[in-house]
Amino acid sequence: MCGIIGYVGKRKVSQVLLHGLKKMEYRGYDSSGIAAVSAGGLKILKSVGKIENLERKYSETPIEGIAGIGHSRWATHGVPSEINAHPHKDCSGKIAIVHNGIIENYGELKSDLIKKGHKFISDTDTEVAVHLIEDCYDGNIEEAVKCALPKLKGAFSIVCLSSDEPEKLVFARMKSPLVVGLGKDEFFVASDVIAFLSFAREAVYLENGELGIISPEGLKIYKFSGEEVKYKTSMILWNADMAEKNGFKHFMLKEIYEQPASISNTLAGIITNDGFSFSDAHIDLDLIKKVRRISIVACGTAYNAGLLGKYFIEQIAKIPVDIDVASEFIYRESLPCDDSLFIVVSQSGETADTIEAVKKVKSKGSGIIAVTNVVGSSITREVDGVIYTRAGFEMGVAATKTFTAQSLVMYALALYLAEAKGILSKNAIAPYIAELKLLPEKMEEILKNVKNIRRVARMFHSCRDFLFLGRNLNYPLALEGALKLKEISYIHAEGYAAGEMKHGPIALIDCDCPVVVIMTKSFLYDKVISNIKEVSARQGIVIGVASEDDMEAESYTRVLIKIPSASPYASAILAVLPLQLLSYYIADVRGCNIDKPRNLAKSVTVE
């Protein structure tokens, strides 16, 4: 969850580090620090809170060097404080490291190191790594890191700097992401390419169990066992502009507005003249024809998109689908089934629970494909095939454009499976595709008309509880609407299947409880209206999200938000936009830190 960075080159090292840390603040932001080696030896600056606090310190006491390392923290071991902030140094004060991940055996390592005379000052697991490196150190930092690595258990990526070799950085990856950026006579290493997008166009993604060195002489990569690796470089497809707000007040709002483009791009990546193609997913048509069950695994918003996928696939391709949150799936006794296909959905491709789920599936020998937004992410290296959402970089901690892109992919996959199994002919699929092509235009319409949604946000921003209800395809949207609201506004919100409301949540309903009902037209419309009446009968305030051509909706609801009319399938992708906007404007009126909600990190790389 933390963001780590290293730089070797001729620019002002601390400025590159601070720039990179700001770009990666979405990964964690309770404290930060940088280190570089200048004439006076190793210098470290740390600060609690936002990176701006560290920048302020840097402007008072600048530190520079040829190489430097930096870190933004999302606390796991030890409270957010300057002492616990990275970089951590050894007893001699010559070696510093930054770390992302969790060193699981830090307790035993720490006791051994204390017995050997090492002095610890923080509560972090990271500090053991730097003392372990010191313990191995014999004048060569590369050898010391190589010697320390096999003793560390858990997930980690580290970058290490020594004042004895001030132009060199040694780094390693085990289960936490790390990527090297190749600039002109300069080198970067970071948790995410976003950290150096402005400076480098080529990247090398490290594999688990690899260690690297960057220095003015270049890049070298080795396996932990010592064997040199012939690395592959990839072009970076994202550009620096994607990491700017471009006039929007928050990244989240910018990303909500990017949805028409993200849907067009994602569609362009999977559509052919007369159907869909998932060439990167390497979907074997013979296998698809035999698939008897699909299992979807994901977390958070990606889970909600996966749940929508379950409805799409079951209704369109007639294949039974089960779905789990990854953190439950990995410890559940899942019963093997022949001819089953697993699909993991993950925006970042780095979520620890989802990665563990992939490993579990692989150990059982089942086929697995991933739906992800990040090229080269950890999950893409573990699965049999990948379907990329082409939503562009998502900076806001609250996922928005990736949810609609994932939902679109799941819908397209359902149509593809239906055709492959002979349930729908090419001709029958054509009208679905034609409607999908209209989605960006319909999204634009919603985004042009936010006045009403802002008004609703102002009416209800001070409520303490919200309920979100939907049936069938709209049930995952109810979950997503509630998740968005609680994430960024800190209002308690629950998403429920509308028919389940009478089994418990109905007890919460009173005149202070807004109930958002996604009531777009479907075969269950009448049942949804009955649920609305049950809410109204208990003085609940119904906020309806309905289709434009629904002339009855107004009579059932206190407040109404309309979206362009579409089929139930396409409506399920459209109707989340007003929910995202409602959460956004409520959080904005409440003055919340929308792009960096408290306690949250964009990619959750710990279990």
Q: Which stretch binds ligand AGP (CB under 6 A): 51-59, 166-174, 244-252, 391-399?
A: 391-399
**Which class for 351: exposed (0-12), middle (13-18), buried (19 or more C-beta within 10 A)?**
buried
CA 472 → CA 167, 309, 395, 430, distances in Å?
59, 11, 30, 24
Q: Which stretch binds ligand AGP (CB under 6 A): 171-179, 260-268, 347-355, 504-512?
A: 347-355
x/- track of binding to ligand AGP for residues 1-40 (CB under 6 A):
----------------------------------------
User: Looking at 183, 300, 470, 481, which residue binds ligand AGP (CB under 6 A)?
Assistant: 300
Q: Which stretch binds ligand AGP (CB under 6 A): 220-228, 345-353, 497-505, 542-550?
A: 345-353
Binding-site size, ligand AGP (CB under 6 A): 16
Q: Do 451 and 576 form a contact (C-beta atoms < 8 A)?
A: no
Give the residue closest to ligand AGP by C-beta.
300
Q: Which stretch binds ligand AGP (CB under 6 A): 162-170, 294-302, 315-323, 465-473?
A: 294-302
81/393 Cα distance (integer angstroms): 30
The strand order across the sheet containing 559-563 reads 492-497, 465-470, 514-518, 541-547, 559-563
134 backbone dihedrals φ, ψ, rounded to 5°: -60, -40
| 354 scored as a contact of ligand AGP (CB under 6 A) | yes
CB 593 to ligand AGP: min, Å:
14
Q: Which two tokens stand for residue 10?
A: 């001729």
| 378 scored as a contact of ligand AGP (CB under 6 A) | no
Look at residues 74, 102, 82, 104 and name the one whose alpha carbon lies nearest to residue 34.
Answer: 82
Within 10 A of 183 (CB to CB), how many other CB atoms are there?
A: 18
Is-catalytic flag, 602? yes
Q: Which stretch binds ligand AGP (CB under 6 A): 63-71, 78-86, 134-142, 344-352?
A: 344-352
399/31 Cα distance (integer angstroms): 23
| 405 scored as a contact of ligand AGP (CB under 6 A) | no
| 384 scored as a contact of ligand AGP (CB under 6 A) | no
| 487 scored as a contact of ligand AGP (CB under 6 A) | yes
CB 483 to ligand AGP: min, Å:
6
| 380 scored as a contact of ligand AGP (CB under 6 A) | no
User: Looking at 206, 211, 397, 581, which residue binds ligand AGP (CB under 6 A)?
Assistant: 397
In the complex with ligand AGP, the residue whose CB is nearer, 547 or 603, is: 603
In the complex with ligand AGP, the residue whose CB is nearer, 46 or 310, is: 310
Three state DSSP letters for 14-47? HHHHHHHHHHCHHHCCCEEEEEEEECCEEEEEEE
In the complex with ligand AGP, the residue whose CB is nearer, 197 or 604, is: 604
| 398 scored as a contact of ligand AGP (CB under 6 A) | yes
| 340 scored as a contact of ligand AGP (CB under 6 A) | no
CA 174 to chain centre: 19
| 481 scored as a contact of ligand AGP (CB under 6 A) | no
Is-catalytic flag, 2? yes
Spell out the long-range contacts of 594-598 with Cβ–Cβ below 8 A and sequence spacing 24 or more.
Answer: 594/250, 594/252, 594/253, 594/396, 594/398, 594/488, 595/26, 595/250, 595/251, 595/252, 595/395, 595/396, 595/397, 596/25, 596/26, 596/29, 596/50, 596/397, 597/397, 597/398, 597/487, 597/488, 597/490, 598/490
User: Looking at 327, 348, 407, 557, which residue binds ligand AGP (CB under 6 A)?
Assistant: 348
Strands (E), 326-415: 340-346, 367-372, 385-388
Within 10 A of 283 (CB to CB), how many other CB atoms are there?
A: 21
User: Looking at 163, 346, 472, 557, which residue binds ligand AGP (CB under 6 A)?
Assistant: 346
Q: Which two tokens stand for residue 321?
A: 């689908």
Q: Which residues contact 507 (CB under 8 A, 6 or more apart)?
A: none
| 301 scored as a contact of ligand AGP (CB under 6 A) | yes
The strand order across the sheet containing 367-372 reads 321-325, 293-298, 340-346, 367-372, 385-388
In the complex with ligand AGP, the residue whose CB is nearer, 283 or 398, is: 398
User: Looking at 176, 259, 351, 547, which residue binds ligand AGP (CB under 6 A)?
Assistant: 351
| 302 scored as a contact of ligand AGP (CB under 6 A) | yes
Set 22, 146, 484, 602: catalytic member: 602
Interactions with ligand AGP, residue window 584-603 (CB under 6 A): 600, 603
| 361 scored as a contact of ligand AGP (CB under 6 A) | no
Q: Which residues are catalytic?
A: 2, 602
Residues at the interface with ligand AGP (CB under 6 A): 299-302, 346-348, 351, 354, 397-399, 487, 600, 603-604
